[in-house]
Amino acid sequence: MSIKLGVPSKGRLMEKTFDWFKARGVELSRTGSDREYAGAVEGIDGVDLVLLSAGEIPRELAAGRIHLGVTGTDLVREKLGRWEQQVEEIEPLGFGQADLIIAVPGCWVDVDTLDDLDAAAAAFRARHGFRLRIATKYHRLVREYLRDNGVADYQLVDSQGATEGTIKNLTAEGVADITSTGETLRANHLKILSDGPILRSQATLWRSRVADVSDMEKATLRELLNRLG
Amino acid sequence: MPQKAEIRARAAALRDGFEAAGAKPVETAILQPAEVLLDLYGEDIRARAYVTSDALRGEQMLRPDFTVPVVQMHMAHGAEPARYTYAGEVFRRQEDDPDRANEYMQVGYEVFDRENPAAADAEAFAVIQDALKGVNLRAATGDIGILTAAVRGLNTTERRKQALLRHVWRPRRFRALLDRFSGRSAVPASRAALLAHPNPMAHDFPDIGMRSQEEVAARIEALREDAEAAPISAREVGLIDTLLNVRETLPYALEHIRDLAVDMPAITEAMFRLQERIEALAARGVDVANLEFEASYGRTSMEYYDGFVFGFYVPGRPDLPPLASGGRYDALTRVLGQGSEIPAVGGVIRPGLLVELEAGA
């Protein structure tokens, strides 16, 4: 059997991951047609490439179906409870940097900190009869963060895409999302709360702590990690 | 792990005991409308309850506790005074700790009686303590009502008091607010800039979202008023700190709080209520001289307890949840009753834990 390496299956994240491995003498490539998710590994024997959506990689690592995987810190922390016990961080890859932040309309000139957000939420609930809505797909991380910081009278609403548009569409009052440059937020007339990001994320190589490894696989894994380290 | 049948039998026996103590056995649905629970407990409940849904009834939660459905049932067709008991599963979603049960039995005893709150408090505590006779446990008690009375009595603006009361159950934010209102922490730079700005509403951002510019202006006005209000005095903050640190056996705690009431007359009524409760507990044969009291006990629980609070713990096992816990939840009945309040106090036992302890003993 071989070591299974999970890598994002498309886009810049895949290309940059391929570049990162290539610079360390391990050549990854997609094989077959453009639409087929099959891949090849050259430069080391006994390693299989598994192309997956970045969002599925944490779960595959935690299930032990892949030994190594490349995905963002944000996704590992959001999707895995007690992530430290399920995966080990091997190496940040230096790209895919993004911050998970909370943003509100720029026209809320009275809100700059979590303290302001909490007070605004209390007043909003009294006025409108429901809790201030924050649109996000990072439910766990955002909820934990707001709880730790004692923010009340808010609710999370699920948004799997175009999150910045929810405010204009009146389905949320604030958003919690990943941003790298803040460009999309600005274009949607939003500003980031100044308390600092909930999480700083980047593409990272992870090792599963639960995947079975035979003696042979162990040797392959050691050699691969030596090359990458 | 004890067998489920064994736990069920133990739960039934406990419920029989509560029935013998005067409670009427009741059942509630396992699926509860999510909206009511979300409205009461906020977003935190989502992290702790399983949510499911169908197209007809919308979001439903697997019963995270019995309190809400029992209160609703009582309001719909209960005559007062009333005592209820129940036994059944509750469901708590666990995202971080696989060792914590996500499904377990609870047996409860609830008292709806507005005649004599001190006696009702004592009854709830004593009936539960009685049911646990023979198990070596440490009991802890507290009273959220003393802290809220102290906050209401602060010599400051109504808005500040409301802000503090809103965060009584979030000690960190409570502390941050108290530091801000007393001038112990600096005003954040962005707020200072906002307050110094002659016309902050003149900005270039388009007006988007449901929170209107009028609401923004109203909050700025409130911030201006707050900036002009005198800070809460160091003396008053000191008294609150002293109160929060009271941690003694009941008779000494009462003495300490009576001393504090000399400087904080606002807590006098709450102090008398504590005194009456101690007398009522003693009359029920509770060993009050050795019963612990912590003024900040119960502040971090999710529940809506706003008066007497108590819990029973296994000594030397901080890893275990309390074997039993309870308290007074008048505020919850006020929210559920949309204004009409039914004073209520009660508590629950975890029979699964009890069986485990009895087997290990």
Nearest CA in chain B to A191: B205
Inter-CA distances, A214 with A3, A46, A63, A217, B148, Å: 10, 12, 17, 5, 62
Nearest CA in chain A to B192: A110
Q: What is the pLDDT of residue B331?
A: 85
Q: What is the pLDDT of residue A190?
A: 97
CB A168 within 8 A of CB A188: yes
Determine, for residues B42 and A105 on separate chains, whether the beta-carbon distance falls below 8 Å.
no
Q: What is the pLDDT of residue B1?
A: 58
Q: What is the pLDDT of residue A35?
A: 67
Q: What is the pLDDT of residue B2?
A: 64
Q: How confident is the model at residue A11 (pLDDT cuts 50, 70, 90)?
A: confident
Chain A partners within 8 Å of B211 (Cβ)? 105, 108, 120, 124, 132, 173
CATH superfamily assigned to domain B138-183+233-313: Bira Bifunctional Protein; Domain 2 (3.30.930.10)
Task: Return the number of other C-beta atoms located less than 10 Å from residue B113's C-beta.
Answer: 18
Task: Return the number of other C-beta atoms located less than 10 Å from residue B313's C-beta.
Answer: 17
Q: What is the pLDDT of residue B342?
A: 86
**Cα–Cα dist A44/A225, whole Å:** 11
**Cα–Cα dist A29/A48, whole Å:** 11
Q: In the predicted model, what is the mean pLDDT of chain A? A: 93
Domains of chain A in sequence order: 3-97+202-228 (3.40.190.10), 98-200 (3.40.190.10)
**Cα–Cα dist B135/B353, whole Å:** 11
**Cα–Cα dist B351/B10, whole Å:** 6
CATH code of the region B1-136+321-361: 3.30.930.10
Task: Check whether A225 has a pLDDT greater than 70.
Answer: yes
pLDDT tens profile A60-114: 999 999 999 999 999 999 999 889 899 999 999 999 999 999 999 999 999 999 9
- Give the tokens for residue B235: 């003396």
The residue ranking higher by pLDDT, A34 or B29, is: B29
Q: Measuring CA to CA, which residue among A92, A114, A86, A131 is closest to residue A176?
A: A114
- Average pLDDT, integer, range A15-27: 95
Compute the C-alpha angle A14/A55/A39, nearest 5°.
40
Of A109, A150, A170, the CB nearest to B209: A170
Q: Which residue has the tokens 């030596």?
A: A226
Q: What is the pLDDT of residue B303?
A: 64
Q: What is the pLDDT of residue A38?
A: 78
CB A9 within 8 A of CB A37: yes
Return the H-helix or E-strand segment holding A36.
Answer: none
- Which portions of chain B are predicted below pLDDT 70? 1-2, 302-303, 361
Instruction: Sketch the domain layout of chain B as residue ranges.
Output: 1-136+321-361, 138-183+233-313, 185-203+211-230
Task: Check whether A179 has a pLDDT greater than 70.
Answer: yes
Residue B135's identity, in one-letter code, is V
Of B43, B201, B220, the CB nearest to A156: B43
Determine, for residues A105 and B209 on separate chains, whether the beta-carbon distance falls below 8 Å.
yes
pLDDT tens profile B290-300: 999 999 998 88
Q: Which residue has the tokens 């506790």?
A: B65
CB A116 within 8 A of CB B180: no
Determine, for residues A110 and B194 on separate chains, whether the beta-carbon distance falls below 8 Å.
yes
Determine, for residues A143 and B166 on separate chains, whether the beta-carbon distance falls below 8 Å.
no
Q: What is the pLDDT of residue B216?
A: 97
**Cα–Cα dist B49/B37, whole Å:** 10
Of A150, A154, A170, the CB nearest to B43: A154
Q: Which residues contact B286 (CB under 8 A, 6 or more apart)?
A: B122, B125, B126, B129
Determine, for residues A105 and B190 on separate chains, whether the beta-carbon distance falls below 8 Å.
no
Q: What is the pLDDT of residue A26?
A: 94
Return the H-helix or E-strand segment holding A58.
Answer: helix A57-63
Instruction: Mark which residues 81-120 of A lie under 8 Å from B by CB.
Output: 81-82, 105-110, 112-113, 115-116, 118-120
Q: What is the ipTM of this complex?
A: 0.88
Among residues of chain A, what percentage have pLDDT more than 90? Answer: 87
Angle between helices B158-166 and B144-152 (to 10 degrees): 160
